[in-house]
A and B are shown apart, each in its own frame.
Chain A
Amino acid sequence: MTAARTPYGVGIGWRPEIAGFVAGLPGLRFAEVVAESVPDDGELPAGLDDLLGRGVAVVPHGVRLSLGGAEPVQPERIDHLARAAARLHAPLVSEHIAFVRAAGVEAGHLLPLPRTWEAIDAVVANVRRTRERLPVPLALEPIAAIFDWPDDELDEGAFLTEILERTDALLLLDVANVYANAVNRGTDPAALLDEIPLERVAYVHVAGGAEHDGVYHDTHTDAVPRAVLDLVTQLCERHRPPALMLERDGAYPPAAALRAELDAIAAASGFVAVT
């Protein structure tokens, strides 16, 4: 737990496409890697070794556990996450509060849960099973709600708080998600920040998006909008998390633009620039 609370500052999502850029960030102390890209054995993806050698904390980020599924989470998938954490000497791992398969059918996407007491029970049971097999703390990331289920019994803040308190898990907060959900519902993005336990935030995703036909899409392939950076500032004024990272998944811009985004996150959060 204490390891997860060491302040790391501004980090970045490590992707093979920009491995050379990440390697060239002199002040970097935090990075996240997709857990599924870390093999159980054999060589680590080129460049990750060097980051670890420099003392950069690298956190595996899972997408395939399906913690929100009605059926118990598959032990071999937890073991893969645990193995990735061990290979990277990671201080923690993260996964989504979502389901990706049901009754053996793979959705191929992270799907949102209905915010019901029954769904909470299922998530809590799966998070307990997962934590039993993990050597390090687990941070949970709520996903973007593309839609609200008609039979929701709790609002987002209460739903999240209930899960975190019953599982004693950490929170991976995606401010771009928070922003997208609020904008698309017409509510205040900062309101959620007052409803969830911010002291549980292990780290924060900051991503870009774009608006099409009045709907804000959390694309991870566009620039980070000013409004999302403002939300970072509002979050850090309440409780500054140990790490915030730029999450970029494609349409990578020139290095100067990526550096400017990292610097903007540093400025918005009050951390030192890593570029």
Chain B
Amino acid sequence: MSRYLCKRLRNLRFSTKITLGVTLMLVCSGLGIGLFLSAMSSKALLDEGKKRGMALTTGLAFRLMEPLLAMDFLQMKNLIDNNHDQYGDVLYIFLTDTSGNVLSHTFSGGFPTDLLKVNLDSRDLQPLFLSTEQGAVYDFNVSIILGEEKLGSVRLGLSRSQMDAQIRQQWLISLICTLGVVSLGIVLALWYARTVTLRLNRLRESAEEIVKGNLNVRVSTPLRKNCWDIMQCQMTACPAYGDIRRRCWHVIGTLCLHCQGKASPLKSESCRHCPVFRDNFGDEIQELAVAFDVMAVTIKRHIEALTERETIITRQQGLLKTIMNVTPDFITLQDKDLTYRFASRAFCDYFSLNEDEVVGKTDADIFSGRQVDLNFHEDEQILLTGRPLAKEITFHRLDGQQWLHIVKVPVYDQDGSIMGLLLTARDISMLKKIQEQLIQAQKMEDLGRLAGGVAHEINTPLGIILGYTQLLMDDTTDQEIVENLRVVEKQAKICQKIVADLLGFSRHSQSVRESMDVNESLREVVQLVEHTFSREGITIIQQLGEAVPPLVGDKERLRQVWLNLFNNGMDAIGQNGSIVVRSRQGAGGKIEVSVTDTGQGISAEHLNKIFDPFFTTKPVDKGTGLGLSVSFGIIKEHGGAISAQSPASMEYLADIVSPPGRSGPGTVFIVKLPAEKRHIG
């Protein structure tokens, strides 16, 4: 029961608790004080009544002294009757002499002799409380003493009914007053509780608003007068100036003379003597509200600062993540237990995993047994020794041989102990390939230089061989010898051409650059080979753009390039086909020249080797393998680029009409050369 009561009490609203508490207190106090005071006043009234009775009796005794001495019965009777008649609550009076003789009394119809048996000695405690047929009576006995001589006694009976009536009236008044005070107290308690809880509710609502995220709350009452008005300081630089949400004694860094530069405790102490504080200081709840407002403002500022920092951090995190995800390098972070805590997207993509499949896992969950074992020993070694590891590994995948450059470094925490392992790995397969090509190119350069030297040395003997062969042919009539000499001459010329190409490939002489028209250069070469090609059924289609700007270049060398490309196309076609030559202005101020054939095309595996020196798919007597290499070098010298596509894009073949069944996939060589600068738009 008491638990239930306690629970119900706990569940009551605070204002109800205050009201109930104050009411209980008032009722208890009122009841206690009322009862206490009523008892006191009742006792006082009784005492007063007794004193009055005693005073009446004593006065009467004094006045009876003379008639008693004179034995003036009339005067005795008059005095006694006067007193009896004068006071309604005096039931009886009688006078006795020293012998107990009743000298005078107020009774009619005989004397109640019982009275002569009680309260005989005036030295006993007076009055004696009697219960009579006429109600409760206080019987007073006062001796009439003159000097040391007792003359007699006066007995006076005072009815208690009047005193009881007064006591009842006083009790009623006390009750009404107590009820009135308690009622007033309850009303005041209600008002007080409402006032207090109103302010507390405002605090609660503000707290709820803060919980909801609204920090623009204000609980405290506005200042009666702002601090800058009171101080008349006009210090607009003071942080308290214009701040109406906080009391200035809560603001740090105020510029008042007496609080300037003081830290919080000292400032608070000095502020207590400030007129602003004295004007605006409130009670505890008001101070709580002010502190609450300050807290809200402070929290808001902190949250704003945190939000700003969070934004920065998020931005930086995003940036970092973007970098991590965009970077082609593999980046992973493992903790001391070699569990992955981070893995970049490149790493995940490389191993075809999601980030969730990596983070929180170990190598054992991702890699094969041998790799796991290898990684584990490496990683443990790094974690134990703190020495970073850098290595290159290679392995074979479906798309060919792959190379990775791996760096593993230990990661230290703030106390200097190793907390994990950072791995970065870069796919260097392309680099390795380029590296191989570079080595090959170097080898080719060295070979070319060697070949040039050899060719230069061979060229003179070849010229002598050719000259003497032709002389022998002129001098010999024997047809068989002539035929043999013709074979020698032909092979010598082939050698001479090889030598000439070798010389051209290896020559690094200063070329003559001048402004030239690409279309004109192309037409000259077309005219040169058109007749020869037509004999093989090959048609050259010219689609030369009119708006092609001039370029600065070596006419002869560029003609050699075009010639090489046409020859290459003719060799690819063999017989009956078309070669399309097109020129146009390309993007970025480049002049684009394309030579497309309808030949057999170049296989993909050969496509990236066609510009290598001595690489050829032609029969032994058809090519030297140096034409495209020479062309590549010339174009490169002109700041341009040459590339090949096979099969040729339809963009380059759309208008070609070939004999049915003779058209191959074709190859297109695209040459891009920089236009003359003044023509670059």
- Whether both chains belong to one complex is answered with no
Interface residues of B (CB under 8 A from A): none
Interface residues of A (CB under 8 A from B): none
